[in-house]
Amino acid sequence: MLLNYLASIGRFIPEIVLVVTMIGLLFVESTYGENDKGSKKGYLYATAYIGLILSLAQLVGSLGDAPGGIFTNSLTIDPFSTLAKIIMVIGTAGATYLSRRSSDIYSELKGEFVIISIGVLIGGMLLASANNMLMLYIGIETLSILSYVLASLKKNDDRSSEAGLKYSLYGGISAGIMLFGLSHIFGVVGTIQFTGMIAKLQTLDTMQIAILMPSFLMFFAGIGYKIACVPFHMWAPDVYEGSPLPVTTFFSIVPKIAGIAVLVRVTMAFFGGETTALQMTWVGTLSVIAALTMTVGNVSAIGQRSVKRMLAYSSISHAGMMMMGVVCLTEIGVTGILFYGITYLFMTLVAFFITSFVQDEYGNDHFERFNGLIFKHPLMAIFMIITMFSLAGIPPFSGFVAKFNIFNALIDKNFYVLAIIAGLNSVVALYYYLKIVRLMVFKQSESDEKIGGFVFSNQVAIAVLTVPVVLLGVFWESIIHVANGAKIFIQ
Amino acid sequence: MSGTSNLLNWILWMPMLGALGVLLIPKAKENAIRFWALANTAITMVLTAKLWMGFDNSIAGMQEAFTVKIPWIKQFNIFYHLGVDGISLPMILLTSVILFICILSSWTVKKQIKGYFALILFLQSTIYGVFFSLDFFLFYVYWEVMLIPMFFLIGIWGGENREYAAVKFFLYTFFGSILMLVGMVALYHATGKGVDSFDLLALKASADEFIKMKVSLFGTEVAFDKLFFMFMFIGFAIKVPVFPFHTWLPHAHVQAPTAISVILAGVLLKMGTYGFLRIAFPIFPGAAVYFSNFIAILGLINIIYGAFCAMAQTDVKKLIAYSSVSHMGFVMIGMAAMTSQGLNGAVLQMFNHGTSAAMMFLLIGVLYERSHHRWIVRPDGSKGFGGLYTQMPTFSIVFIIGMFAAMGLPGLSGFISEALIFFGIYQKFTTMTVLALLGLLIGAAYLLWMFKRMFFGEVVEECKSYTDMNAREIFYMLPLCIAVILFGIWPSPILDIMKASVNSLVTLLANYQ
């Protein structure tokens, strides 16, 4: 037994590293005096980066390891979860970098942001690995409760406080509903373990199925809320807008990827087998919701004045696109989702980085602030253009390959209607992405003043993040190979 | 599996190198940028000529000697696969010549020269990519990438309403390509078990399988080939443009700068019809035959509706834009006939319309540089131009040549292709032939009417200051004039190139009739 636990700890190092980092950060934070808060955050950020890099290195190193359950099978470590965790760690590192450079977070609260975001990351990692309902619930709550704090980090700002309140109210209710649903599932199936669930669900009688159908919908509500899919998306735009920009960046990556990862695992662990009535309900609901999520996200994004809010709505529609991969219930679908997640990570980071620096300069991020950016900062504008085209799914950028992979999964299962809905949606999306491109290139700026945020180091950071957006559009063989190898492991 | 020659690679990447080179030249050295771009297109033209020299007219399929095939994404069987045959070579020749001329005609562009020439060269490379690709995935990538330079070229250097035109152009074409993407992936999954491929030749070979397949859509069984033929059809039809998908074209043409209008009319519209001949027809021959009447009717609508629209225009560029709609209708109806003359005529018309439409748009550009307006009749009812013939005799002569070529006057290039098309369609669509001939008549009417209003009559006061064409303008009009006259008398150089390939397509389609 002891040996078993020791072995488990060996596979749990990435998370442990992050927990240690979190504790370390608390110490480092306390060494700063009352007056030097904000100006001397070097050690704090150094600690955070070291923790994230160590964790990342451990994760990348274990990508090829054989899958297996740890801690009496309550967590599964498989290539799928490891890859999802890699995406989340990189996303956190990006948001952390942005939090230091952004003036949207009060300088005395930057330490808090770093500590809490690593906490959210740990919750997300637990969620990606969860192999029973209890771990799933713990993961979601770790992720959520800390997120509420992040959303209201700009505490003197009304909108940020509103965001925090809204987030926690919605989050509390949906977690409650999910728990209620989970308790029914436990009552009928008699286990909280995902292991062997497929077989158990296939031997149910009609009465039990009738009980489980609404229970699964409640279960889905909890996960759907985290991914912000329609109709559980109401909180998202307000929270995304009210939160400081680095937090929004963080929210549109880590909780979203964690939510998608757990959705994939639950769907595969519960319904990966033969067709049953329950599977039809789940997958049917999922496909309708995926189509709705894409459409509502895109249509709402059109009318926005704030770029951040537009990106928030567009991230809802991207989540819808990833959900389409889940509907397929195939390995190709999972590969498509992972590839989509990787490209989505980099595109989101570039878009939010640039928006953040523009917003810091002008005090708001209305579309007009991007006017004539190409004349002031040609390189940054070109990176933004590339990212916008990539988000819209235009070759030769990575967003296109991601879209192609989802289409590939959908059509492999003959889901032509879903593919067409997804395709039409990307036409709608192109319209609002083009809006930014248009303003940057075709319009003249009111002033010739350069944007202070685009200092050399920030430009380098943005350039580094843009590289994968371009490269993965042309040389995507190796990454698709990795995504393909990241099989989901169901015992 | 590569051929012996890297020529296609050179032609494809030379403009891209040129674009990168432009970016390296300092902004202030404007003439250096212009000459660099010109030299680059000249080199590409020489390379294309070399391709023409090495081309074997007797081979119906792909020219093995030039084929390039390198694995790109092994997992999906995606290849970087380039090839050339008798259908693509005329388009390649056209592209090389037109782009060279466009660089020359862009000498007077003043705004952000560096970006302008870099984007044009980039555009040129993507055009070659579309015509060379033998892998559907590669084709699709080039087809889409092409939109990016076009969007900026129209949006930055265009007329007053340029933003609207650029966005409309982008969204329309993108909508079509999405349907194409769905069709493309469906084809990939359909090619039998274990041989999943995007290879256009392999897909063509399994055409018979597609006919037997069914697709379930909303619970009803639909024939696979018919459904996806429709998808491809919409994708390509938007580009041609076929009625009712043509509404982007007048905006894009009128707003685009001269050189871009020339590329649009001269080359880009042909991509749509080329797509039919390379992808939609060979892969779905059964569906193509099934829908041939439908395509012919749409082509006929294009001819007549486009001609009437052109007649109603008071903006001379818009008039020529609508005449393009009308002329592309001839290509559509010629293809729909699926006879040897019809298809040969259609491909020849693609080439000939490329030269004559390019001429017309260039001439309007020349005129616009002097007048800064394009009104035949101004909105207030007064004449925009008048008596140009006495003011600009050389210009008028070139204009007459271009106009008569577009009209299809015997002895000029348009006549041969239109005559071939009429012979071809008469065997199948007798009534439609008569109606299409009527379209020809309307075409003559609006062009002559336009000519009368602009060139004859009293000299309008402001036209008195217009100077005749200068040496540079004459120089770049000359190759087109020669092409229009030469291929009007002696069309066999172009016909010989395409005959074998087109006829093999005719034979293929005949099996399904």
- Which residues on B lie below 8 Å from A404 (Cβ)? 181, 185
- CB-based contact, A24 to chain B, within 8 Å: no
Minimal Cβ distance to B156: which of A389, A396, A442: A442
- CB-based contact, B190 to chain A, within 8 Å: no
Q: What is the CA radius of gyration of chain A?
A: 22
A459: burial class by Cβ within 10 Å (0-12, 13-18, 19+)? Answer: middle
Inform me whether the pLDDT recorded for B46 exceeds 90: yes
Give CA separation, A113 vs A48, A154, A356, A479, B81, in Å. Answer: 11, 11, 16, 31, 51
ipTM of the complex: 0.93
Give the number of other Cβ atoms within 10 Å of residue B444's Cβ.
17
b/e per residue, B402-425, with b = 16+ CB within 10 A? Answer: bbbbbbbbeebbbbbbbebbbbbb
In chain A, count of helices (H) and strands (E)?
A: 21, 2
The helix/strand/coil state of B104 is helix
pLDDT tens by residue, B225-260:
899 999 999 999 999 889 888 899 988 999 999 999
| Residue B222 C-alpha from the chain's centroid | 33
Contact at CB, B185 and A411, closer than 8 angstroms: yes
Give CA separation, B379 vs B159, B254, B384, in Å. Answer: 18, 16, 9
Tokens of A300: 């709402």
Round to whole Å and give the CA distance between A77 and A65.
9
- CB-based contact, A117 to chain B, within 8 Å: no
Shortest alpha-carbon distance between residue A64 and chain B (Å): 19
- CB-based contact, A284 to chain B, within 8 Å: no
Closest Cα to residue A307, out of A388, A374, A403, A253? A388
Round to whole Å and give the CA distance between A433 and A391.
8
pLDDT tens by residue, B262-291:
999 999 999 999 999 999 999 999 999 999
Give CA separation, A323 vs A173, A195, A361, B327, in Å. Answer: 23, 23, 36, 46
Helix-, strand-, coil-residue percentages of chain B, each rounded to 5 = 75, 5, 20
Amino acid at B287: A
Q: State the DSSP H helix or E strand holding residue B69, giving kind and residue range, or none if neither.
A: strand B68-73
Cβ pair A306, A362 in contact under 8 A: no
Q: What is the mean pLDDT of chain B?
A: 90
Q: How many CB pairs under 8 A join A and B?
A: 85
Contact at CB, A441 and B152, closer than 8 angstroms: yes
Shortest alpha-carbon distance between residue B190 and chain A (Å): 9
Contact at CB, B170 and A430, closer than 8 angstroms: yes
Up-side HSE of residue A449: CA atoms within 13 Å toward CB? 9
Round to whole Å and give the CA distance between A157 and B404.
71
Residue B435 backbone phi and psi in degrees, to 5? -65, -40
Minimal Cβ distance to A423: which of B145, B171, B182: B182
Q: What's the average model confidence in pLDDT over B49-75? A: 88
In chain B, count of helices (H) and strands (E)?
A: 24, 4
Residue A303 backbone phi and psi in degrees, to 5? -85, 0
Round to whole Å and give the CA distance between B336 and A426.
32
Inform me whether the pLDDT recorded for B386 exceeds 90: no
Instruction: Select the residue from B148, B180, B227 to test the A interface by mutation, using most A Cβ atoms within 10 A.
Output: B148
- Which residues on A lie below 8 Å from B186 (Cβ)? 411, 416
Contact at CB, B156 and A400, closer than 8 angstroms: no
Minimal Cβ distance to B163: which of A424, A438, A477: A438
Strands (E), B77-150: 78-82
- The DSSP-derived string for B216-227 is EETTEEEEHHHH
Say what the alpha-carbon torsion angle B279, B282, B287, B288 is, to the nearest 10 degrees: 80
Q: Which residues contact A262 (CB under 8 A, 6 or more apart)?
A: A127, A128, A130, A136, A139, A140, A223, A226
- CB-based contact, B70 to chain A, within 8 Å: no
Cβ pair A152, A244 in contact under 8 A: no
Give the number of other Cβ atoms within 10 Å of residue A134's Cβ.
14
Q: Which pTM was predicted?
A: 0.94
pLDDT tens by residue, B428-465:
888 889 999 988 899 999 999 999 888 888 888 888 88
B381 band by pLDDT with thresholds 50, 70 and 90? confident
| Residue B273 C-alpha from the chain's centroid | 8
pLDDT of residue A260: 93
Cβ pair A99, A114 in contact under 8 A: yes
Minimal Cβ distance to B73: which of A424, A441, A477: A477
B1 band by pLDDT with thresholds 50, 70 and 90? very low
Round to whole Å and give the CA distance between B267 and B269.
6
Minimal Cβ distance to B141: which of A395, A420, A442: A395
Minimal Cβ distance to A442: which of B140, B163, B185: B163
Minimal Cβ distance to A411: which of B148, B182, B216: B182
- CB-based contact, B211 to chain A, within 8 Å: no
Q: State the DSSP H helix or E strand holding residue B71, giving kind and residue range, or none if neither.
A: strand B68-73
pLDDT tens by residue, B100-159:
999 999 998 888 899 999 999 999 999 999 999 999 999 999 999 999 999 999 999 988
A140: burial class by Cβ within 10 Å (0-12, 13-18, 19+)? Answer: buried
- Which residues on A lie below 8 Å from B144 (Cβ)? 394-395, 400
Tokens of B456: 């004859």
* pLDDT values of chain A reduced to their tens digit, one per residue, 491 residues: 677 788 888 889 999 999 999 999 988 888 876 666 555 678 888 999 999 999 999 999 988 888 888 888 889 999 999 999 999 999 999 999 998 888 888 777 888 899 999 999 999 999 999 998 999 999 999 999 999 999 888 888 888 888 888 889 988 999 999 999 999 999 988 888 888 888 888 888 888 888 888 898 899 888 888 888 888 888 888 888 888 899 999 999 999 999 999 999 999 888 887 778 888 888 888 999 999 999 999 999 998 888 988 998 999 999 999 999 999 888 889 999 999 999 999 999 999 999 999 988 888 888 888 888 888 888 999 999 999 999 999 988 999 999 999 999 999 888 888 999 999 999 999 999 999 999 999 888 877 788 888 888 889 999 999 999 999 999 988 888 888 888 888 76
Q: Which residues contact B298 (CB under 8 A, 6 or more apart)?
A: B237, B242, B243, B332
- Residue B158: closest C-alpha in chain A: A442
Contact at CB, B155 and A416, closer than 8 angstroms: no
- Which residues on B lie below 8 Å from A423 (Cβ)? 178-179, 181-182
pLDDT tens by residue, B11-39:
999 999 999 999 999 988 889 999 999 99
Beta bridge partners of B133: B82
Contact at CB, B185 and A434, closer than 8 angstroms: no
Say what the alpha-carbon torsion angle B33, B36, B37, B38 is, to the nearest 10 degrees: 120
- Which residues on B lie below 8 Å from A430 (Cβ)? 170-171, 174
The DSSP call for residue B360 is H
Shortest alpha-carbon distance between residue B193 and chain A (Å): 12
Shortest alpha-carbon distance between residue B359 and chain A (Å): 29
